[in-house]
Structure 1
Amino acid sequence: MFLGVDGGGTKTAYALIDIAGRIRARHVGPSVSHLSEGFARATELLIGGIGTTLAKAACAPANVTFAFVGLPSYGEDSATTPAMDAMPSSLLDATRYRCGNDTVCSWAGSLGCKNGISVIAGTGSIAYGQYAGREARAGGWGEIIGDEGSAYWIAREGLNLFSRMSDGRTQRGPLYELVRARFGISIDLDLCARIYGESGSVRSVFAQFAVLVHEAAKAGDTQAAAIFERAARELVDCVAAVRRSLSIPSGTSIPVSHSGGVFNGAALTCDAFRSALEHANLGFEYRSPLYSPEFGAALYAAQLAGQPLDDTALNTLREQCSAA
């Protein structure tokens, strides 16, 4: 029995699978980010989510062979790493789980724990890859320093575009009226109160503005569409940086995939990302994601336990994921 936990900026997904690739339980709960919730509350939410998942499968914690717990911001503050490593310890045997950054879940799920690079673009953004036993990451610096190509970044760029449309610094496109209608404003500057107010300052709430930018792009707003093209190039820059850090030999093709809300159901983002990969001309092979990140975490748990799922089990898991 292998448990995977994919902790994100807005939600946490849990999956329990067995060695035959059968899904024994799934669960989705709130974010377990200690940055937004504090360690005590984040730990409580994580333990609750794991407990709910195991209860659905009538599985005792002692029956979990191994678990991988992907946590947002893991490895980004050395002082907090021991505390993050201890978060699942009140429920799981410390010798049978490992914590890591949630981007590992993206890589493990999208590429099935194989050599390659994966980008996660949700509230934040980061690229991570493994090759020949080496691992590397790029991006993931947070919304103030970076997180280019993330939902937060797209939202910020979209808000800036709205301000320029309002001022007359650029031509007004569909985004302008979409924002006014969605926020119910007749005076454009009233948007400031919505964004800088209490709810707008919440990182995950702010990032949801990216949906409006996407709607505008689909409605024919070329300036909004250009934001997604820039986002894709920024994400590919991270992929290229990971490739260099992994010391992948020149001329070697490497699989690249993705996960995260920016990509989910958004053909515009996927197409822009694939196009940017091709234009990079660095030997990237685009791959559609095989599994969602929580199942990637469970597969990685099996690998860490020295019991990777065989091809038959992997096919069983893919079939069940597709059916779900």
Structure 2
Amino acid sequence: MAGDCFLGVDGGGTKTRFAVVDASGGLLGESRVGTTYHPQVGLDGVRAALGEGIDAALARAGRTRVDVRHAFFGLPAYGEDSRVTPLLDAMPRDLLGHERYTCDNDMVCGWAGSFDCGDGINVVAGTGSIGYGQRGDRAARCGGWGEAFSDEGSAYWIAVQGLNAFSRMSDGRLPRGPLHTLLRERLGLRHDLDLCAHVYGEDALARGALAQLSPLVAEAAGLGDPTAAGIFRVAGEELARIADALRRTLAFDDGEAVPVSYSGGAFSAGALLLAPFTQALHAACPRFDVRAPLRPPHLGAAFYAMHLSRHG
């Protein structure tokens, strides 16, 4: 039908993006709201953010909820709490007024965008980190256990490692480099220990806001700080371990090319992260074929909605 469209939602720990495409894949409208990470904002917060983003994207597309042939909701932390998953599954029904939708973890959006819903492994390094891949009828995830004890290589992890380095530099356990100066200046610290108030105090930064300190670590590395550069080297190695674990889980054959791509804000550091990531991949398996993503995750989500509508 002329009014048919497909809605994609790429949730995240810092932002959530929406895309509406027509039956030929043409972009009709998009929008952006804040986090839909339910451990942080609660289910009511997720519902409010989704409703706002859907309204804005459909308005810009000149479409209504009735026009949505299928929607895909990629939500952070989906599938990681068996009590909450059914509630997330049910939420879009009220927001759309119909049941032509599918929910899953936001990791699927990155894979769908990177490979146009084809075989391959995608590693996400956004606020958190996770990997997801498909090969034929197999699908698997790796990582994404949360910031308290996992999410290695993510923007949050990079930022926390940077804060750790700052504390060591302040104490004299590490030589002071540009990272120390940058964090003092950007956070407006009168005293180094005032950093604690930004992390533990009454007005402590939320998970997503802490993750947004990762570009300062990248900036320090660009200024020649060896500790900051080392953080990105280890981040790349950790993300490569996610991809290599998925290669084995998905049972890629010896000698078979293994397509791998990437998404998430941490990769905005460019070669600083991508170079050690690629180097570690090839050290683990020379058959890794590193590819730039075909499209961003929110468009991947919309294309996956179209794929599900056509192929089930």
**TM-score bin, normalised by smaller chain:** over 0.9
Q: Alignment partner for residue 272 of structure 1, among 269, 276, 290? A: 276
Q: How does 1:105-124 map to 2 (within 5 A)?
A: 105-124=109-128
Query: Is residue 235 of structure 1 aligned with residue 243 of structure 2?
Result: no
Moved over 2 A (4+): 91-95, 183-187, 198-201, 264-267
Task: Tell me how far apart the structure 2 counterparts of residues 271 and 2 of structure 1 sit (CA, whole Å).
Answer: 36
- CA RMSD in angstroms comes to 1.6
Native 8 Å contact 1:3 1:66 kept in 2: yes
Which range is displaced more, 261-270 or 141-150?
Answer: 261-270
TM-score (norm 1): 0.91
Partner in structure 2 of residue 167 of structure 1: 171
CA contact (8 A) 1:200 1:206 kept: no
Q: Is the 8 A contact 1:6 1:105 kept in 2?
A: yes
Equivalent position amino acid for 1:62 in 2: V
Question: For the residues of structure 2 that align with 1:245 and 1:82, how far apart are their CA atoms?
Answer: 27
Task: Indicate the residue corresponding to 1:21 in structure 2.
Answer: 25
Is the CA contact 2:19–2:302 (under 8 Å) kept in the aligned structure 1?
A: yes
Q: Write out aligned runs for 1:130-209 (5 A).
A: 130-209=134-213
Q: Is the 8 A contact 1:17 1:24 kept in 2?
A: yes
Q: 1:297 aligns with which of 294, 298, 301?
A: 301
Secondary structure in 2 aligned to 1:238? Answer: helix
Supply the AA of the counterpart residue of 2:162.
G
Residue pair 2:260, 2:288 contacting (<8 A) in 1 also:
yes
Q: Note the alpha carbon deviations across 1:147-195, whole angstroms, 9 max, x for none.
A: 0001111111111111111111122211111122222234222222222
1:32-47 alignment, distance < 5 Å: 32-47=36-51
* Structure 2: stretches of 5+ with no match in the other structure: none
Partner of 1:223: 227
Corresponding letter in the other structure for 2:308: L
Distance 1:200 1:214 in 2: 22
1:189-236 Cα distance to aligned partner (Å, 9 max, x none):
222222222343411111122111111001011111010010010011
**1:261 matched residue in structure 2:** 265
Matches of 1:101 and 1:6 in 2, distance apart? Answer: 9
State the AA in 1 paired with 2:232: F
Report % sequence identity. 51
- Answer yes or no: is the 8 Å Cα contact 1:125–1:139 preserved in 2: yes
Please say if residues 114 and 262 of structure 2, whose CA atoms lie closer than 8 Å, have aligned partners that are also in contact. yes
CA-CA distance at 1:93 after TM superposition? 5.1
Q: What residue in structure 2 maps to residue 314 of structure 1?
A: none
Q: Is 2:30–2:56's contact at 8 Å kept on the other side of the alignment?
A: no
1:98 partnered with 2:102: yes
What's the offset of the Cα at 1:307?
6.1
Mapped partners of 1:91, 1:72: distance in 2: 18
Query: Would the alpha carbon gap of residues 62 and 307 (structure 1) be closer, same or farther in structure 2, given more than 3 Å must change?
Result: farther
Q: Secondary structure at the match of 2:265?
A: coil
Q: Distance in 2 between matches of 1:255 and 1:49?
A: 32
User: 2:288 — aligned with what?
Assistant: 284
Q: Is the 8 A contact 1:46 1:87 kept in 2?
A: no
The 5 Å alignment of 1:34-73 reads 34-73=38-77
Give the whole-Å Cα distance in 2 for the aligned partners of 1:97 and 1:123.
25
TM-score, normalisation: structure 2: 0.94
Which has the higher mean CA deviation after the structures are superposed, 161-170 or 292-301? 161-170
Q: Give the secondary-structure state (helix, strand or coil) at the position aligned to 2:28.
A: strand
* Worse overlay, 2-11 or 274-283: 274-283
CA distance in 2, matches of 1:249, 1:278: 16
Partner Cα distance (2:95, 2:266) in 1: 33
